[in-house]
Structure 1
Amino acid sequence: MMKKKFTGAAALGLCLALGISMGASADSRKVVTLGADLTDQQKQIVMNYFGVTSDQVDILTITNQDERDHLGSYVPLEQIGTHTYSCALVSPTSSGGIQVKTANLDWVTCNMIATTLSTSGVVNCDVIAAAPIRVSGTGALTGIIMAYEQASGETLNPQKKELATEELVITGQLADNVGQKEATAIVNEAKTEIISQNITDITVIQNIVNEAASDNNAQLTQDQLDMVTELLDKISQEDYNYDDMKDTLERVDENVGVTSQVDELNGQESNDEESAAQQAAQDAESEAAAETETEVSILDNTNDDAFGDDVITGSTQETETDAPATETEAPEQVLETEMPAETYTGGSSDGIDAQMPAETEMLVETDGYSDTDSEIPEFETEAPAETEAPAETEAPAETEAPAETEMSTEPEYTIDDLTEDKKVIYTEINWYLDRVLDLTTEESRVEAENGQYKEEYAEISQMDVTALEADEETSKELKDKFDKFLLKMLVKGLDEEDKAMDELDTAEYGAPEVKMLSQEIKDLIVTDADQKLTSIDGTLRQTISDEAEAFFKKIYGVDAGEEDGTYTEEEPGETEAYSEDYYDQESYDESYDEGMIPEATNDGTME
């Protein structure tokens, strides 16, 4: 299948020239959605980025439950997380299709959002999807659809909204393997042909998907082919009007298409006469738009300095470049909807995942720790000249330092290396984990009930604890890995990088030790990189992770907002504030005073 050149511009130009109505209601209004878990300061920064004030827009608060309601059928709940940070500004328009701008979204792109919104039934709309910190962006679609319905007064078809969500998730999963541009191009191109030609035969649809992949230099596995084919088969059963979608689908194709730009869908090369007619129609469209345009697009009104440096941006007004996530290095990434399991690298129970360089990930695999050890020496890998092997048998230099040598440099810490107060912490956490992993024996119970810390044990033994229900061997392996991590953290303490917490971390954990321990538990039990817990329900594993986080807060005296207790690693004010560490405080208008933007409720009213 060759990609063909659209002729939609002629029809659009004619409609504009004749004054035919094409879109949004005259009383439509801009709507902003704000993630419920943002701080007031972050909400102000987002509003500043959007270039609007609270009296100019309606405001909706998007909660984690909203995201679960929209995404729960396609994304495991433990990957959705428990917090919401994505925001959006939505403005229905009268023509031009769907235009999207994104900031700080690194898994979902502007073109993915545009083409999936067309599937939801949206025809003409300007959208900005953004977050004050880097997030995956899958949750952004939830707020955008809710905002569009309020702004336009139109209720979208529930089935089409479901298909849009499914399309976004599938495109993102496909992008992990073939690339963001390629994945978007494959789905968009195949969808375009299927809808424009009213194709409903699933065999033909599968052939179209295969050809779209070939057009975009991608090789799909059978599972990937079946996944996309099934999605497009569902879409083919709905009553879409291609004329409503062509502006958006054509623009996306031009932005992400790897091969030649779109050609005619009817399979015939456009002749000179037709090209001239198209150009005339485009000129008429531009002139009509210039005469009727009374307002600058919201995409052109953003304050691009509001989020500081190292911001991933994208716009359907520009040709998409390859994988923006690899071009700049994020200080931290928030995964509102976590990446698929095969690409997810771990994180906290709220979906926050600090991106780690490859060499750190390797150390996690070999010693069980989640932080690097600066004391590990560098090894000489160059073979001495006198022992150099013949060329045909010479081993590559990088293979000469065995992995086990690296492991042997890490000391084996024991409880005897701990101070007395940290022995208490270590013992209490071990008792708790024994209950979670069902490793408490009668002998250990009796010893604890009569031992030095019997009062602490009594309190832990009375807690409501969700058990993992893993086999004994797996439970012992998990306990051993966590034990090594815990001992190292308690003996060596945290380095400056681990101690630094942004506002979101501080609000969620209260102490860096709580954050580190919570992330380790989630890595072991929720993320399950070794795939030892696949038979255990994901919701149960997430519950265990959340309960463990609450327990760690109690141990470190930061539960319920306390700041005294056992936690003494940092003096008040020592932790880096997020606004000081990541945002340029002078990059947003000082007129956005604290509390300027009141809390917004789901019905759009302000409190």
Structure 2
Amino acid sequence: MRKLAIGGIVIILVVIGAFAASDNVLTNNNDTTMVITYGETTYNNQQYKSIVDDYFSQNANVILENVTTEVITANEVNQISQGISNKTYDSNQIFSSALVDLNGTGNLTVNVDTSKITLVTEEMYASALNSTGINQGYVVVTSPISATGESALAGIMSCYEEATNKHIPDEVKKAANDEIYAQSEVVNSSNASPHQISGLVSEVKEEVAQNNTTDIGAIADAVEQTASNNGIELSQADIDKLAEAILQTQSVKDQANDYKNQVTNVINNGGNGFNIFNIFNF
């Protein structure tokens, strides 16, 4: 069984208002609204803060002097993490970060700094966000030190909620959270890589959606067959865990589609209802 350290799975949300869709680079234009939220551990450690600052300066084309900053505490993070890993974090465990651009009108793009984020893949984030109906925007996830990145999903969803003034239904949010957590647990309990598990889940979700099934037995069979086809060895417990997570996302697809339509309308109407400086009240 492979053990992956949780190591400070918390959120520094970065919201940048302009997205260069042609090459997925965020630019610092005059009309751009920028916010960086630092986890308190990173903010209080100059070395960690410099690592994060340098990463976004180099990879997101951010001029830090023009960015408004906020700090998120362990107490705020624990309100999020309880819904995913059921873990409680101390004030010295707040590290991982997510950059979110809500103004991009293209497809959802997720970039993960794999040198720091050890578990949750780009595909995992994209799959879970799509399960909520989020299919637009630009997301970057990083951390000053190694972290799994599990809790970042909840923070990203909160960012979409507050910025669009549209609440993701609780059942939809729970399904997306559980999808990330189920995949992380299966990675920890099997010999499969995160990319293998995220690819498997995406493939099965597509098959389940095409067949429009909510039969847990049929979904479990699809997980088992897809794993076999891809040379992935899973225990029955792992198969059942993934099947249950996929069933949840399939069961709330109508609510997710409704949320997607609401977000699309907000974005297409020029961001009506956006209040970028209030998005971190979670």
Pairwise TM-score range, normalised by the shorter structure: 0.5 to 0.7
Residue of structure 1 equivalent to 2:108: 97
Shift of 1:102: 2.2
Q: Any idea what the Cα deviations from partners look like across 1:524-556, whole Å, max 9, x if unmatched?
A: xxxxxxxxxxxxxxxxxxxxxxxxxxxxxxxxx
Q: Are the equivalent residues in 2 in contact too, given 1:32–1:87 (CA < 8 A)?
A: no
Partner SS state of residue 34, structure 1: strand
Residue of structure 2 equivalent to 1:86: 96
- Looking at structure 1, the residues matched to 155 and 119 of structure 2 have their Cα atoms a distance apart, in angstroms, of 17
More strand by share: 2
Are 1:45 and 2:59 counterparts?
no
Partner SS state of residue 135, structure 1: coil
The alpha-carbon distance between structure 1 residues 195 and 128, as it changes in their structure 2 partners (threshold 3 A), is same
- Looking at structure 1, the residues matched to 117 and 146 of structure 2 have their Cα atoms a distance apart, in angstroms, of 6
Residue of structure 1 equivalent to 2:85: 75
Q: Normalized against structure 2, the TM-score is what?
A: 0.68
Partner SS state of residue 85, structure 1: coil
Q: Are the equivalent residues in 2 in contact too, given 1:194–1:205 (CA < 8 A)?
A: yes
Residue of structure 2 equivalent to 1:211: 225
Partner SS state of residue 106, structure 2: coil
Shift of 1:126: 0.8
Shift of 1:158: 2.5
Are 1:230 and 2:244 counterparts?
yes
1:147 alignment partner, one of 140, 148, 159? 159
- Looking at structure 1, the residues matched to 69 and 213 of structure 2 have their Cα atoms a distance apart, in angstroms, of 40
Partner SS state of residue 145, structure 2: strand
Are 1:163 and 2:169 counterparts?
no
Q: Any idea what the Cα deviations from partners look like across 1:373-394, whole Å, max 9, x if unmatched?
A: xxxxxxxxxxxxxxxxxxxxxx
- Looking at structure 2, the residues matched to 215 and 31 of structure 1 have their Cα atoms a distance apart, in angstroms, of 44
Unpaired segments ≥5 residues, structure 2: 1-30, 261-276
- Looking at structure 2, the residues matched to 200 and 142 of structure 1 have their Cα atoms a distance apart, in angstroms, of 25
Q: Are the equivalent residues in 2 in contact too, given 1:31–1:89 (CA < 8 A)?
A: no
Percent identity over paired residues:
26
Residue of structure 2 equivalent to 1:107: 119
The alpha-carbon distance between structure 1 residues 181 and 58, as it changes in their structure 2 partners (threshold 3 A), is same
Residue of structure 2 equivalent to 1:495: none
Shift of 1:59: 4.1
Partner SS state of residue 106, structure 1: coil
- Looking at structure 1, the residues matched to 111 and 67 of structure 2 have their Cα atoms a distance apart, in angstroms, of 18
Residue of structure 2 equivalent to 1:192: 206
Q: Which amino acid aligns with 1:162?
A: K
1:127 alignment partner, one of 139, 147, 160? 139
Q: Any idea what the Cα deviations from partners look like across 1:155-187, whole Å, max 9, x if unmatched?
A: 323222222211111111112212212111111
The alpha-carbon distance between structure 1 residues 156 and 76, as it changes in their structure 2 partners (threshold 3 A), is closer
Shift of 1:60: 4.4
Shift of 1:194: 1.7
Q: Any idea what the Cα deviations from partners look like across 1:181-238, whole Å, max 9, x if unmatched?
A: 2111111111122224322222221221112212221122111111111111111111
Are 1:32 and 2:36 counterparts?
yes
- Looking at structure 2, the residues matched to 604 and 54 of structure 1 have their Cα atoms a distance apart, in angstroms, of 19
- Looking at structure 2, the residues matched to 151 and 56 of structure 1 have their Cα atoms a distance apart, in angstroms, of 20
Partner SS state of residue 144, structure 2: strand
- Looking at structure 2, the residues matched to 603 and 53 of structure 1 have their Cα atoms a distance apart, in angstroms, of 21
The alpha-carbon distance between structure 1 residues 148 and 100, as it changes in their structure 2 partners (threshold 3 A), is farther
- Looking at structure 1, the residues matched to 208 and 182 of structure 2 have their Cα atoms a distance apart, in angstroms, of 18
2:187 alignment partner, one of 175, 195, 199? 175
- Looking at structure 1, the residues matched to 32 and 164 of structure 2 have their Cα atoms a distance apart, in angstroms, of 5
Partner SS state of residue 77, structure 1: coil
The alpha-carbon distance between structure 1 residues 216 and 116, as it changes in their structure 2 partners (threshold 3 A), is same
> Aligned pairs, how many?
222
The alpha-carbon distance between structure 1 residues 213 and 90, as it changes in their structure 2 partners (threshold 3 A), is same
Shift of 1:124: 0.7
- Looking at structure 2, the residues matched to 202 and 62 of structure 1 have their Cα atoms a distance apart, in angstroms, of 39
Shift of 1:48: 2.9
Q: Normalized against structure 1, the TM-score is what?
A: 0.33
Q: Which structure is higher in RCO with an 8 Å CA cutoff and minimum separation 6?
A: 2
Q: Which amino acid aligns with 2:38?
A: L
Q: Are the equivalent residues in 2 in contact too, given 1:107–1:172 (CA < 8 A)?
A: yes
Q: Are the equivalent residues in 1 in contact too, given 2:158–2:279 (CA < 8 A)?
A: no
The alpha-carbon distance between structure 1 residues 218 and 94, as it changes in their structure 2 partners (threshold 3 A), is same
- Looking at structure 2, the residues matched to 43 and 155 of structure 1 have their Cα atoms a distance apart, in angstroms, of 31
The alpha-carbon distance between structure 1 residues 218 and 188, as it changes in their structure 2 partners (threshold 3 A), is same
Q: Any idea what the Cα deviations from partners look like across 1:442-488, whole Å, max 9, x if unmatched?
A: xxxxxxxxxxxxxxxxxxxxxxxxxxxxxxxxxxxxxxxxxxxxxxx
Between structure 1 and structure 2, the one with the greater Rg is: 1
Shift of 1:77: 2.6
- Looking at structure 2, the residues matched to 36 and 602 of structure 1 have their Cα atoms a distance apart, in angstroms, of 18
Moved more, 67-76 or 204-213: 67-76
Shift of 1:130: 0.8
Q: Are the equivalent residues in 2 in contact too, given 1:116–1:164 (CA < 8 A)?
A: yes
